[in-house]
Amino acid sequence: MKIAVIDDSAEDRKLLAEKIQNFCLRESLIYEIRSFSSGNEFLQASRADWDIIFLDIFMNEIDGMTLARTLRGNNVHSLIVFTTSSRDYAIESYDVRAFHYLVKPIPQDKLDEVLRLSEKSIRSRNHYIEVKEGRIMARVLVRDIMYTDYYNHYIQIHTSNRMIKTYMSFAEFSPLLLKYKQFISPYRNCMINMDYVQQMDDHDFLMKDQVQIPINRARKGEIRQAYADYSFKRLNEG
């Protein structure tokens, strides 16, 4: 899950981020949390793929309700959870399709309840895979996977903020991802998410984290054409 915390109180931002992290660790969720001190700072981040936005209402510059209206006007469909010290805006929050409304101070158990509901809603509209990591099952959103490789009998799943290792063969694992149009296998025992490719040359894919993924020489023409076709289709689909 990609989670934004927007609050002009440094103390409140830190506390909420810690509580969210506690939940994600307990539930073995793959997560990314970024904190913003103002609505303007958040808007300048130029990113629309947040799963959940925790948004304080009473802020300087842009208040939370105005920011929420701006986001909905820009067709941002992230779940919005308002966090505030007052119940006065609870009814108004429905106008911007808020997912929930939390009054500060926010108890961990109440936050956990909202996060469970949020994760259920996100999973219902996003594809994910479930793999065994050590002794626990980890859920990984397909769109968060940059690439996967294979080392010493383990599949290594690389996301933007960590790597998940699961003990299984590539033949067993690969069907989980190759059914999605954004994944391709550029060489044996490796798959990449073409949404994370920064550029492609004659020999390699350069991923957005600057990792170079080699292209199988025997299949170079086929792989390059598949990437070109996918890029063209994605561009035309907007």
83, 102, 126 — which closes off a domain?
126
Q: Which pLDDT score is estimated for 237?
A: 59
29 and 121 inside one domain? yes
Q: Which pLDDT score is estimated for 48?
A: 66
pLDDT tens per residue, range 182-202? 999 999 999 999 989 999 998
85 and 9 inside one domain? yes
37 and 90 inside one domain? yes
Comparing C-alpha atoms, which of 129, 146, 236 is closest to residue 183? Answer: 146
61 and 160 inside one domain? no
Domain that residue 23 falls in: 2-126
153 and 109 inside one domain? no
120 and 194 inside one domain? no
Confidence of residue 77 (pLDDT cuts 50, 70, 90): confident
Q: Which pLDDT score is estimated for 65?
A: 93
**pLDDT tops 70 at residue 158:** yes
Tokens of 119: 């994760």
Q: Which pLDDT score is estimated for 126?
A: 75
Average pLDDT, the chain: 91
Q: Who contacts 125 (Cβ-Cβ below 8 Å, separation ≥6)?
A: none
114 and 137 inside one domain? no
100, 126, 152 — which closes off a domain?
126
**pLDDT tops 60 at residue 106:** yes
75 and 112 inside one domain? yes
pLDDT tens per residue, range 18-67? 999 999 999 888 889 999 999 999 999 867 679 999 999 999 889 999 99
78 and 149 inside one domain? no
* Higher per-residue confidence, 48 vs 129: 129
Euclidean distance between CA atoms 141 and 31, whole angstroms: 10
112 and 220 inside one domain? no
Domain CATH for 117: 3.40.50.2300
105 and 141 inside one domain? no
149 and 135 inside one domain? yes
Residue listed under structure tokens 């989980």: 176
Q: Could you tell me the pTM of the whole model?
A: 0.61
Q: Which pLDDT score is estimated for 141?
A: 86
Q: Assess contact for 180 and 192: CB atoms under 8 A.
A: no
71, 94, 126 — which closes off a domain?
126
- Give how many domains the chain has, as a whole number: 2
